Amino acid sequence: MRALVIRRLVYMVPTLFAISLVAFLVIQLPPGNYLATYIAELSARGAEGNQLPYIDRVVFDIMQDEEVMLTRALNGDINFHTRHFNTLENRPVLADNRESGGYRFVDLQPGEMNTAVISFNLTHQDEELREVFRDRDFRVAMSLGIDRQSIIDVVYQGQGEPWQAAPRRDTPFFNEELAKQYTEYDVERANALLDEAGYDERNGDGVRVAPGGRALSFTLSVPGDFRPDIVDSMEMVVGFWEELDVDVEMEIEERSLWQDRRENNEHDANVWSGDSGLMDAMYDPRWYVPVHSGESNYAIPWAQWYVSDGEDPRAQEPPREVREHLEIYDELLAEPDPEGRQERMRELLEVSQERFYAIGINLTPPGYGIVAEDFRNVPESMPEAAVYNTPGPSNPEQYFIRQ
């Protein structure tokens, strides 16, 4: 039997899954590498009264290696999938094997606003590094020191455009200044900003030092088993930053270790993909204000303070200006009028523009997934976003395998 691998079948959207809410039942979790679920027999029938051939079993294969996933896809062993192996780099080989693999492409409209968002730890346990990272001029200089177009050309086959952590154009929240500020490659200005901010001296190794004597040296933590394009782009970023006489060591970490260090405020700087680029920006503004205690990577303890009302022992009370920023989000949540909520969100993003918490690289280009040729009722195009719960709203209970 061919494995059906779906990103997620979760039902967070009311009314779209009147059948699925009661029909899907997990019946087996063996010690092996798969999870099997069944659905109850569906009584829906076609116009001629025939029982429609809906699927009655879904098998989720658990695979840790993206190369294995790619091989399975090329061999036609996957009915439907939209994550991990479907990179721009892999698209040509997947396109060439569509006929032999018996699959087609489905277009994905990205909910991401950025291929990678770099977060300096503004709540770092080391006082000197914390002071450096909280220096907005330092962050601006580091942003100006990145040649984004080279990254786009080399890593993303020329797809995308230089972009900060900011909502996409096709949303009510698009803020061009937020999206484009400090995205130009300007080494001269970056060096001047670092000099003016007090980082003009060098140590014996030629590395800039802070006014207190601390070398501008830190680690950039990268999840190694998440997305190869992020690893490749961060290798280039580190090279650009070294040209500014800033010493950066890129550390590729196993994902669970990377997450543990982040949640326990043990990272210097890290990188993750930029979610919340569409309307979800209003419901999960993790990159725009520190509200997400697991994902606002630039200030996890501030977010822990926010979500726990200061009760979390790991929390740090944020500065007054950040608390005022968080209050705007409280006002948004309390606003009953949809237009009023959108207006509060635009106001929040104007402040995000000034705070400049995190650094983006590239506007995420359109994506793709694969669908087996005999797997039908799957839309030719769908949004791809965490809060959309792809492919949930496309009604997976109506997918079927053509006999």
**Amino acid, res. 31:** P
Six token digits for residue 264: 């326990």
Q: Across the chain, what does the average pLDDT equal? A: 88
Q: Mean per-residue pLDDT for 170-197? A: 97
The pLDDT value recorded for residue 39 is 52
Q: Mean per-residue pLDDT for 113-122? A: 98
pLDDT over 70 at 41, yes or no: no
The pLDDT value recorded for residue 263 is 92
pLDDT over 70 at 8, yes or no: no
pLDDT over 90 at 388, yes or no: no
Least confident range from 25-29, 45-49, 139-143: namely: 25-29
The pLDDT value recorded for residue 337 is 97
pLDDT over 80 at 45, yes or no: no
Q: Mean per-residue pLDDT for 11-25? A: 39
By CB neighbour count within 10 A (0-12 exposed, 13-18 middle, 19+ buried), where does 152 fall? buried
**Domains of the chain: residue spans and CATH:** 20-110+366-401 (3.40.190.10), 114-360 (3.10.105.10)
The pLDDT value recorded for residue 62 is 75
pLDDT over 50 at 6, yes or no: no
The pLDDT value recorded for residue 213 is 87
pLDDT-derived band at 3 (thresholds 50, 70, 90) equals: very low
Q: Mean per-residue pLDDT for 60-86? A: 86
Answer with the residue of higher pLDDT: 289 or 7.
289
pLDDT digits (tens, 9 = 90+) for 217-256: 999 999 987 888 999 999 999 999 999 999 999 999 998 9
For the chain, give the secondary structure using H, E and C: CCECCCCCCCCCCCCCCCCHHHHEEEEECCCCCEEEEEECCCCCECCCCCECCECCEEEEECCCCHHHHHHHHHCCCECEECCCCCCCCCHHHHHHCHHHHCEEEEEEEECCCEEEEEEECCCCCCHHHHHHHCCHHHHHHHHHCCCHHHHHHHHCCCCCCECCCCCCCCCCCCCHHHHHCCCCCCHHHHHHHHHHCCCCCECCCCCEECCCCCECEEEEEEECCCCHHHHHHHHHHHHHHHCCCCEEEEEEECHHHHHHHHHCCCCCEEEEEECCCCCHHHHCCCCCCCCCCCCCCCCHHHHHHHHHCCCCCCCCCCCHHHHHHHHHHHHHHHCCCHHHHHHHHHHHHHHHHHHCCCEECECCCCEEEEEECCEECCCCEEEECCCCCCCHHHCHHHCEECC
Q: Mean per-residue pLDDT for 166-183? A: 97
By CB neighbour count within 10 A (0-12 exposed, 13-18 middle, 19+ buried), where does 205 fall? exposed
The pLDDT value recorded for residue 9 is 32
Least confident range from 6-15, 216-225, 390-399: namely: 6-15
pLDDT-derived band at 195 (thresholds 50, 70, 90) equals: very high
Give me the count of residues in the chain: 403
pLDDT-derived band at 1 (thresholds 50, 70, 90) equals: very low
Q: Mean per-residue pLDDT for 111-116? A: 96
Q: What is the percent of the chain where pLDDT is above 70?
A: 87
Least confident range from 81-90, 110-119, 136-145: namely: 81-90
pLDDT-derived band at 17 (thresholds 50, 70, 90) equals: very low
pLDDT-derived band at 47 (thresholds 50, 70, 90) equals: low
Q: Mean per-residue pLDDT for 329-351? A: 97
The pLDDT value recorded for residue 372 is 95
Measured CA to CA, the distance from residue 290 to residue 300 in angstroms comes to 7
Least confident range from 28-32, 304-308, 382-386: namely: 28-32
Q: Mean per-residue pLDDT for 197-213? A: 94
